[in-house]
Structure 1
Amino acid sequence: MHRALTRGGPARRPARLRLTAVAAAVAFAGGTALVQSAPARAATGALPANTTFYINPNSAVEKWLAANPGDSRAATISAKIAGQAQGTWFTTYNPATIASQVSALASAAAAKGQVPLLIMYDIPNRDCGGASAGGANTIANYEGWASAFASGLGSATAIVLVEPDSLALQTCLSAADVTARDAAISYDGQVLHADDPNAHVYFDGGHSDWNPASQQAAALKAANVTTEANGVFTDVSNFEWNNDELWYGQQILQTLGDSSLHLVVDTSRNGAGPGNTWCDPSGRALGLTPTANTGYSYVDAFVWAKPPGESDGCADAAGTFDPALANALATNPPVGLPSCKITYTVQSSWTGGLTVNVTVANTGTAPLGGWTVNWTFPGDEKITNLWEGYYSQTGETVAAHDYFGTNQTIAAGSTASFGFQGTWSASNASPTSFTMIANNGGTAVTCATS
């Protein structure tokens, strides 16, 4: 099957938008609650942490391996890529056969006690006419296709990602077409849950280096994500640092205001963070392997939605499996834990107030990307304004995060800085201990101080 996903299209090539600090009060730590719940949707809760995802034996990488057993790259590609569960894309308008195709996949996964990852990708005017242009020719036809798709699931436990880029990339659509698309995405959620209450359905969240979280949340709300989906997926269309996706996704969820909505992140190609383009960049690496044991209460799964080695449309036609791309991802080492040094400087202090500059130094030998610096004030300071970054504060505990797309990556031996203004009443003692989460997210390390 041709999986025609590209990384956006002409509308995404200009410099990306800097996110506004819309969610300054978002807490990053796993387990943080996210405000009140919306009405419950017809679907199950989070997948068990020990969920095993389905490896499709008919994937493009498996077909390439079968046809090229003597290729010098085959062993590496087999071990590093084919051995991991990946998304199966449904990209062709085929209302007569789509139900049987979906049923075959769902049944094969169920026979192994595994959970498949399915991606719907047939919305009219998809990719705004870019490298992955296509889809059904009318909304009515698309909804018929989606209904047939849903009927094929039966009662299978499955993850379904609905139409990547459909809500993040709407610049080519008229207002009427945006409304029609939103309704079609909402319809997808309705029929998927109606036909299969065991389906875990996620709508398009774009990625952290694209739209502001407030804008993406508004698009998701217009598509009725709070009533028709289990949550939001991000990073199918790029290579962004996992830590940035975790922070960005939580901003979206916080803005939506529904604690029952969760996040799914595509980690298939973000092990070395973003490149200098969204389209087949060099120097990228495989990210965290697929798992439902994410370590974050609001993150249902890390998945490989975009199959590693399938082109974005620059090295080859979009969706073509390219062994050179696959081998590069498999052999380029992912960036590991950060090494950091923090310099915390009180620039001025007065009764009840202070300004501070914080310098973040990368003391390691690899890039430091998608970073969050955490500390606890020993006094009673409260940040009122932070610049060159985002922050959240709970009591005296602070998480300060990079600006997406600007200072998100610090080269080895280099620094970045941010500053803040704050208030205090009894004490403005400086913190002396800092930790950092960066790169693939998850594990916090202690930073040296000066």
Structure 2
Amino acid sequence: SNTMQGILADAASKSPPQLVTFIVYDLPNRDCHAKASNGEICCTYNVDGSCDYAKAGDCSAGLAEYKAEYIDKIVSLLKEYEGRVPIVLVIEPDSLPNLSTNHGDPRCGNSATVAAYKGGIQYAVQSIGAAAPSVAMYLDAGHGGWLGWKDNMKDYVATIRDLSVSSHLRGFATNVAGYQALGQMCPTYDFCLNNANPGHPCCADPCGLTSQWNPSHNEHNYALHLRKAMSEGISGFVPHIIIDT
């Protein structure tokens, strides 16, 4: 079966049980800065069933639907297979990074969407972490061409710290929502800024990001930057980074 239950049951039947990866991806007002990947849950519904991204509020109805109809059902299944199947979750691509960089987009900056993303992710991570602590959760962190600037990174770190979810996270997933080249990892995340090491292979910068004061000009360097910023910004948190290729 291609259901979550069926996939977990199949993995559990193997010897040893197979690792399973799922994407948790159905926040209210999902993908506020895009139109091609909107979700099925809204803070406020238009008459045609689409989301009214302009409607402000606390998204209480949308969050209640997200919790009861989506997260709670996932939590129940994960609890059933806790300790029986190794499970990895990538949590809500294309969500929190939008709150750090797209305040000016009324679809992302309105109070309902902000409440949906912060409240939904906090509930999802804390609920899953409490019910199935062996599940490895990686929260979406955009990519280096999105959050790699130091101000954007600082804002994102503050968001994660304020949500009090780091104790349940194994780390972050990047290059899922949007993409930049992997490149070659440098000795330090800011090795190439100010044209400090011209000609070094790790400083190849096809998108010209270092000239825009973005040290995360490839995804390996973004991983270095993200890990350093989170470790310095949240006491005791040293995240692992997985990169979608």
TM over 0.5: yes
Give the equivalent residue in structure 2 for 1:210: 146
**Pair 1:253 & 2:178 matched:** no
Q: Is the 8 A contact 2:157 2:230 kept in 1?
A: yes
1:110-168 Cα offsets, whole Å, 9 max, x none, are 32322111101100111115210123221110011111111112213211111011100
Structure 1 CA distance for aligned equivalents of residues 86 and 234 of structure 2: 26
* Selected match of 1:141 from 59, 65, 68: 65
Does 2:175 correspond to 1:235?
Answer: yes
Counterpart for residue 128 of structure 2: 192
**Rounded Cα–Cα distance in structure 2 between residues aligned with 1:163 and 1:109:** 23
> Measured at CA, do residues 135 and 264 of structure 1 come closer, stay the same or move farther in structure 2, by a change above 3 Å?
farther
Paired residues for 1:426-441 under 5 Å: none
1:288-322 residue CA offsets vs partner (Å, 9 max, x unmatched): xxxxxxxxxxxxxxxxxxxxxxxxxxxxxxxxxxx
Higher-Rg member (1/2): 1
**Rounded Cα–Cα distance in structure 2 between residues aligned with 1:141 and 1:186:** 15
Conserved? CA contact 1:203–1:220, under 8 Å: no
Cα pair 2:173 2:243 within 8 Å, conserved: yes
> Could you give the per-residue CA deviations for residues 350-408 of structure 1, whole angstroms, max 9, x where no partner exists?
xxxxxxxxxxxxxxxxxxxxxxxxxxxxxxxxxxxxxxxxxxxxxxxxxxxxxxxxxxx
Contact 1:182 1:222 in 2 (8 A): no
Residue 240 (structure 1) shift:
3.4
Contact 1:186-1:228 at 8 Å conserved across structures: no
| Corresponding residue SS for 2:97 | coil
In 2, Cα distance between equivalents of 1:258 and 1:235: 26
Q: Distance in 1 between matches of 2:225 and 2:176?
A: 14
Q: Cα RMSD (Å) of the superposition?
A: 2.2
Q: Is the 8 A contact 2:143 2:222 kept in 1?
A: yes
Distance in 2, matches of 1:256 and 1:157, equals 29
- CA-CA distance at 1:181 after TM superposition: 2.2
Within-5 A mapping of 1:381-400: none
Higher-strand-fraction structure: 1
TM-score with structure 2 length normalisation?
A: 0.62
Q: Provide the residue aligned with 1:174 in structure 2.
A: 110
* Amino acid in the other structure paired with 2:41: A
Structure-2 residue corresponding to 1:263: 240
Q: Which runs of 5+ in 2 are unaligned?
A: 43-61, 103-107, 183-218
Worse-superposed segment, 113-122 or 232-241:
232-241
1:234 touches 1:249 (CA, 8 Å); kept in 2? Answer: no
Amino acid at match of 2:181: E
- Residue identity opposite 2:244 in structure 1: T
Distance between the aligned counterparts of 1:200 and 1:210, measured in 2? 24
Relative to its length, the structure with more helix (as a share) is: 2
- Give the TM-score taking structure 1 as reference length: 0.35
Taking the aligned partners of 2:229 and 2:141, their CA distance within structure 1 comes to: 8
Quote the offset at 1:176 in angstroms.
Answer: 4.9
What amino acid does structure 2 have at the position aligned with 1:205?
A
1:130 pairs with one of 26, 31, 35? 35
SS across alignment from 1:118? strand
Q: For residues 161-212 of structure 1, what are the alpha-carbon distances to aligned partners after superposition, in whole Å with 9 as ceiling and x for unaligned?
A: 1101110013323235313421210110122122212211122212111123
Structure 2 equivalent of residue 365 of structure 1: none
CA distance 1:257–1:164, change in 2 (3 Å): same
The corresponding residue for 1:157 is 86
Structure 1 stretches of 4+ with a deviation exceeding 6 A read none
Q: How does 1:241-390 map to 2 (within 5 A)?
A: 241=182, 242-268=219-245
Kept in 2, the 8 Å contact 1:245–1:265? The answer is no
Asked whether the 8 Å contact 1:120–1:162 carries over to 2, the reply is: yes
For residues 227 and 190 of structure 1, the distance between their equivalents in structure 2, rounded to whole angstroms, comes to 9
Cα distance in 1 between the residues matched to 2:10 and 2:233: 36
Q: Offset at 1:260?
A: 4.1
Kindly indicate whether the alpha-carbon contact (under 8 Å) linking 1:157 and 1:199 is maintained by their aligned counterparts in 2: yes
Match of 2:197 in 1: none
Q: What per-residue deviation string (whole Å, max 9, x for no partner) do you get for residues 48-82 of structure 1?
A: xxxxxxxxx96xxxxxxxxxxxxxxxxxxxxxxxx
For 1:122 and 1:176, how far apart are their aligned partners in 2? 15
The Cα offsets for residues 20-69 of structure 1, whole Å up to 9 and x where unpaired, read as: xxxxxxxxxxxxxxxxxxxxxxxxxxxxxxxxxxxxx96xxxxxxxxxxx
Name the SS for the 2:167 alignment partner: helix
Q: What is the SS of the residue equivalent to 1:149? A: helix
Q: Provide the residue aligned with 1:369 in structure 2.
A: none
Query: Which residue type is aligned with residue 123 of structure 1?
Result: L
The 3-state SS of whatever aligns with 2:146 is coil
